[in-house]
Amino acid sequence: MERKIAVAIFILIILFPQVSRVISASNYLISSQTVLKSLNKSSDLIRTIKVEKENLDDPEMLISSVDKNHNRIYDSLEQSLKLHPDKNFDVIVILRDDPQGVINHFRMLGGDVKYQYSNAFCGFSGEIMGRNLYDFARDDRVLLIQPNFIYRATTINTTRIIRVRPYVWDTLGYYGSSNFSIAIIDSGIDPTHPMTGPFYGDGNFSGKIVGWYDTLNSSKTEPYDDNGHGTLVASVTAGNEYAGNLDSEGRISVRFFDFGFIMINFNDIKPNQIRNYSNYLAILNPGNVEIYLNWSDISIQGPNIEGHNVTILGLYVYGPNGERVASNESDSKFLTIKFNASELGLYNVKVVVQFHFEGDDPDSDTDGAGVILNGWAKLRYSSPDTHQPFSGVAPGFKLVGVKVLDRNGEGLTEKILQGIDWILNNTEKYHIVVATITLGTPVIDPAVELAITNLAKSGIVVASAAGNAGPNENTIYSPSTSDYVISVAASNTGWFSGINVTHWSSKGPYGKYDNGSIAYRNTIKPDITAPGGDFGEPSVISADNNYDDNVDVFKYSYPLREIVDVYKSENITEHESNDFVFSVGTSIAAAHIGGVVALMIQMLTNGNYSQWNYTLNEVLEVKKLLLMSGWELIAPNANERGKKDASEGFGLVQADAAMEAYLNEIEINKPYVGTLTSETLGKHVWA
C-alpha cells in the first residue's frame, strides 16, 4: 500500500508532499519538527526509509583522543606509571589483531591475563607491573592500554506519562512479546519478586527470567541481586503486572526512606547539628495510612574521642495543605504513625535528626556522627484502568540478567566488557533485542564504548543512563556519550509544577576526559528524556528486592561540602518481602526507554522474533522513530523549537507518537484534525 505524508496542525492544513512532520504540544505552544528527508519514492515510505547515518565513532579517533602522545597508553594511566613504576596495574588492552600472539607477549613480560574478549572487541584484561607496560606498548598489534575504570549504578503514573498505558498496550495492542528478551546489565535481578520472577532454568521461556550470567561469581548459576539496583531497573523496564503484597486492609508497602548519612571532618562545626529529611507520599485513595521508621546510629568514634551520636527528635506527617496530621516524638528505634487520609493529595513525611559531635579528634579525619533511615508506608493504590496498579513498560517481554556490579553498586571496566561479550555470544539463544546499561563512569572509557558500538552493530538497541551529575554542562557519563546508544536524561513526574528535566540529570552536549577536558563527539547528548523521578516529590515506584534492606550510606565531608564515599550497609534483614521502593535517577529513565524500544521492536516485527534481523539499520530506525516523536519540554526561544538540546535531547519520550509515526497511513490533500494538550497525562505529539 502506498503511504504518503501530510501535516495537520489542528484545523490548519499545511501540505508538504513526501515530508513527515511531528507536531508537539508543549507549554501551550505548537511546534513542528522535520524528521525525514525528501525521497524520490513515497511507496511504503516509513518502512523503507534509509536512515541517514551520523559520522559515528571511529575507534582510531576515539583512542587518539585519550592518547595524545600516541604511545598506546591512556594518558592518565601513563602519569600513574611514572609515579609508581613498581606497582601492579589492572589494565584493559585493545588490539588490532593476533590476540594470542599479543597475550603471549604480555605474559612474557610478567603479565597475568584475566579475561579474553572475543565478541565485545578484540582485546583482554590483565594485571602487569607498571615499568613493563612501556615495553609492551611498543607492540604494533596494540591499539590502546587503558585503566580498568570503576562504574557505579547511576511506575503507576510514569507509564501513563509516556503514553504507554493503556493506549499502546490496549489500543495499539503492543504489550510485549514473550519470545523476545531484554538484557539488564546491572547488579542482578531478584527472581523471587513477583514483578521480576520467576526463573525456571536456563533458556526456559515459561519463566520471566530466561538467562543469567554472573561476571563476579561464576559458581552462582541462578539469578540474585545483592544490591537491588538491577531489580528496580528490570521492574520498570519489563516488570510483570502486580497489585502488591496487600495487607488485610488492601494496602501495599512502599519503602520511601532508604539511606544512611555520616558527617565527618567537622573541626569547625557546632556540637549539635539538626537536619530534616523529608519525602512525599501521594495519597490517591482515602483510608488508613501507616508509617514505619526504623533507624540506627552508625556514628564512627575517633581513637581519642568517643561520644559522637545521633538522636531522632521526631517523625511528622503534614497534609496537602501543610497542616500537621500526625507525629511521633518517642526515642524508640522503631517509630510508627497511623492516621486516616480523608483528603487526597501529597503528604509530606519528615524526620528530624540531631547529629551530636563530641569534639575534634586530631588523630582522625574519618570519625563523625551518622544515621541510617529505613521507612515504609502502608497505603492503598487502585488501578486507573483494567490492568494491575503496577507494571513495567513492556510486561510481556522476558528478562536476561547480566551481573556486573557488586553489592555496593560498583563494577570494573573488565566486568562490563565481560558481560557485553557474553551477551553478543548468547544473543540468539535468549532472543535478546534490547540492552539497558544503567551505570556509568564520569570519564571516557574507550573499551566499553567500542563494546557498546559492537552491540548496536550486532542489532541490539542499547538504552543508557546519561548520569546524575548535573546541572553543569558536559557531564554526560560514559558509555552514554557513545553515538550509537540512546542516551537518556531524567524528568520529574510532574506533581508540582509540570514535567521538566531534573536539575541533577547530566547535561551535554558531551562528556569529559579524565583530565577534565571536553570529550567532543559527533552527536549532542542526551538523545531523549524519560521519567526518572525527583527528590522532593513522590518518585517512581519500582520493585524492592527481597535480598535484604541494606541501604547506601553516604559519607559527607563537612569542610568540602561534598560526598566523599558511598558504601552499602550490612546486617539489615528484609522487613517485608515483595514490596516496593521509591526510585530516582537516570537509571530509571533509561529503564523506561528500554521498555519503550522493546514495544517498538514488537511493532516492527509483528511480534515475530524471526523478523528481527540483527542489523544496525534496524537499531537506527528504532532510534529515529523514538527521537523524532519526543515532546519538547524546554524552549529558550521560539526559533530554537524542534532542535536537539543538551538538557533533554529531543524531549520527553512519547511512545504513542513513536509508534503512530510508523503505523499511521496519511494521505496528501486530506485534512486531519487532532487535539493536543500540555496536561501531564494527555496527548502531546501527533504523528
Element (H, E) at 423: helix 413-430
Give the bridge partners for 410, in sequence order: 152
In DSSP terms, 273 is beta-bridged to: 355
Separation between Cα atoms, residue 184 and residue 420, nearest integer Å: 11
Cα separation, 241 vs 235, in Å, equals: 9
Write out pLDDT tens, residues 363-383.
777 888 999 999 999 999 888
Q: Which helix (H) or strand (E) holds 659?
A: helix 655-663
- Cβ neighbours for 620, distance < 8 A, ≥ 6 positions apart: 51, 53
pLDDT at 154: 62
CB 416 within 8 A of CB 92: no
25 touches 685 (CB < 8 A): yes
What pLDDT, on the 0 to 100 scale, is given for residue 156? 52
Domains along the chain with CATH numbers: 59-148 (3.30.70.80), 252-379 (2.60.120.380)
Please report where in the chains the cell 518518585 appears, as a residue: 539
Q: How far apart are CA 378 and CA 20, in angstroms?
A: 49
Residue 268 contacts residue 560 (beta carbons within 8 Å):
no
As a whole number of Å, the end-to-end CA separation of the chain is 19
pLDDT of residue 337: 96
CA distance 80 to 75: 9
* Residue 501: per-residue pLDDT: 93
Q: pLDDT by residue (tens digit) across 532-545?
A: 988 777 778 899 99
Cis-peptide, bond into residue 442, ω within 30° of zero: no
Residue-level pLDDT at 267: 67
Amino acid in position 624: K
* Model pLDDT, residue 21: 33
Burial of 611 (C-beta count, 10 Å sphere; 0-12/13-18/19+): exposed
Within 8 A by CB and 6+ apart from 46, the residues are: 3, 20, 661, 662
Pairing status of strand 540-543 against strand 552-557: unpaired
Residues of the chain below pLDDT 50: 1-56, 638
Cα 581 to the center of its chain, rounded Å: 15
Q: Looking at residue 345, what is its pLDDT?
A: 86
Rounded Cα–Cα distance for residues 485 and 50 (Å)? 19
